[in-house]
Amino acid sequence: MTTRHIDFKPLLLVPALALLALPLIGSGSTWLTLTVAGLAMGMIIFIIASGLTLVFGLMDVLNFGHGVFIALGAFVATSVLGAMGDYTGSGDIWRNLVAVVPAMIIAMLVAGALGLAFERFIVRPVYGQHLKQILITMGGMIIGEELIKVIWGPQQIPLPLPGGMRGAWLIGDAAVEKYRVVAVIVGAVVFAALAWTLSRTKVGLLIRAGVQDREMVESLGYRIRRLFVGVFVVGSALAGLGGVMWGLYQQNVVPQMGAQVNILIFIVIIIGGLGSTTGALIGALLVGLMANYTGFLAPKVALFSNIALMVAVLLWRPQGVYPVANR
């Protein structure tokens, strides 16, 4: 807590993992393709996980229902993009963006609004009670998932990529899919915006202070409860955005996707250290890379590889790579 220098060791984990995978995969072009795919997947997971980890750091609430915002965002996107077939079908990326950007904004708004209701009705009565938080947010997720099935139906819905984002660029022998580059850019923008807000604005200062010592910030006269509701809504909206990106990545959406992605997010924020945004980024990139490398090398152990990764990191740093909460 006293030193000001940045702990850089965890930052080296991502390039270390990538370099470690190179000799195992053998072919450089395959490696490049997999690495870009892994980074893209990691960035999408980061967008989803950032809200959850902030909420935990700030209010000590772990929302097991976070996945429902992902699914909601993705389903809203199917409706919006489906209604704008003229723009998505076109091969011109600028025309695609006319459809994709509104789809993302509407998904974020809807997910944020649900986040507001979720905080009010599900989370608020159980502050400070971990056991009940886990149970009740889980219940909230079941209800949300079933309501999605009522509105959009229980079946899988295709979410095709807009024409201009399909296909790949060839760099030497490596094929780099266009959408993955888009995902990396969006993720980098979100990370930059979060980092800027947290380190350069007054709201960010209060959030960081609240994560460190909530009572002190309250006694200085700031209403941390209101701040928290804001963080919760932004976190839900980011999950909605992540849901759109994830849906486009998979090219289809199912109502259960929230629960599936939830597991990856939990692994990410455990690796990263609960409450840490930078930690979540590192965790997400590691998980994304690991999933793609093992998906290529040994498909059957892909899910285990992430758990093995989590175990390895926790053996090294039991509180995650960047522990924040000092309670």
Partner 1 sequence: MLSRLLSHDLPRSKLLAAILIAIVLGLAFAPFLFPGVKALNVAAKVLIFVVLVAGFDLLLGYTGIVSFAHTMFFGIGAYGVAIASTRMGPSWGALAVGIGGALVLSLLLSLAIGLFSLRVRAIFFAMITLAVAAAFQTLASQLSDFTGGEDGLTFKLPELLSPSFEPFETEVFGVLIDGKIITYYALFVVAVVLVLALLRIVNSPFGRVLQAIRENEFRAEAIGYRVVVYRTLSSVLSALFACAAGAMLAIWLRYNGPDTSLSFEIMMDVLLIVVIGGMGTIYGAVIGSVLFLIAQSYLQDLLRLGSEATAGIPLLPALLSPDRWLLWLGLLFVLSVYYFPTGVVGRLRSRAAAKP
Which residues are near partner 1 by CB under 8 A? 62, 64, 122, 125-126, 130-136, 138-140, 142-143, 146-147, 149-150, 154, 259, 262-263, 266-267, 270, 274, 300, 303-304, 306-307, 310-311, 314, 318-319
Closest CB 146 distance from partner 1, rounded Å: 3
CA 98 → CA 3, 73, 77, 94, distances in Å? Answer: 47, 18, 13, 7
Nearer to partner 1, 154 or 167 (CB): 154
Closest CB 166 distance from partner 1, rounded Å: 29
Is the Cβ–Cβ distance between 168 and 37 less than 8 Å? no
Give the C-alpha separation, 294 to 303, whole Å: 9
Nearer to partner 1, 21 or 310 (CB): 310
**Structure-token pair, residue 202:** 């007054």
Q: Give the burial class of 8: count Cβ atoms within 10 A of its Cβ; 0-12 exposed, 13-18 middle, 19 or more buried.
A: exposed
Concatenate the DSSP letters of all residues of 227-288 into one string. HHHHHHHHHHHHHHHHHHHHHHHHTEE-TTHHHHHHHHHHHHHHHH-TT-HHHHHHHHHHHH
Closest CB 46 distance from partner 1, rounded Å: 17
Closest CB 136 distance from partner 1, rounded Å: 5
Nearer to partner 1, 9 or 130 (CB): 130
- Measuring CA to CA, which residue among 241, 184, 162, 204 is closest to residue 42? 184
Closest CB 112 distance from partner 1, rounded Å: 21
Q: Give the burial class of 280: count Cβ atoms within 10 A of its Cβ; 0-12 exposed, 13-18 middle, 19 or more buried.
A: buried
- The set of long-range contacts for 23-27, using a CB threshold of 8 Å and a minimum separation of 24, is 24/293, 24/297, 25/293, 25/296, 25/297, 27/173
Closest CB 295 distance from partner 1, rounded Å: 13
Closest CB 296 distance from partner 1, rounded Å: 17
Closest CB 238 distance from partner 1, rounded Å: 19
Nearer to partner 1, 88 or 262 (CB): 262
Nearer to partner 1, 118 or 293 (CB): 118
Is the Cβ–Cβ distance between 26 and 297 less than 8 Å? no
- Measuring CA to CA, which residue among 85, 110, 114 is closest to residue 98? 85
Give the C-alpha separation, 29 to 76, whole Å: 36
Closest CB 109 distance from partner 1, rounded Å: 22
Name the DSSP class of 202. Answer: H
**Structure-token pair, residue 59:** 């209010």
Nearer to partner 1, 77 or 287 (CB): 287
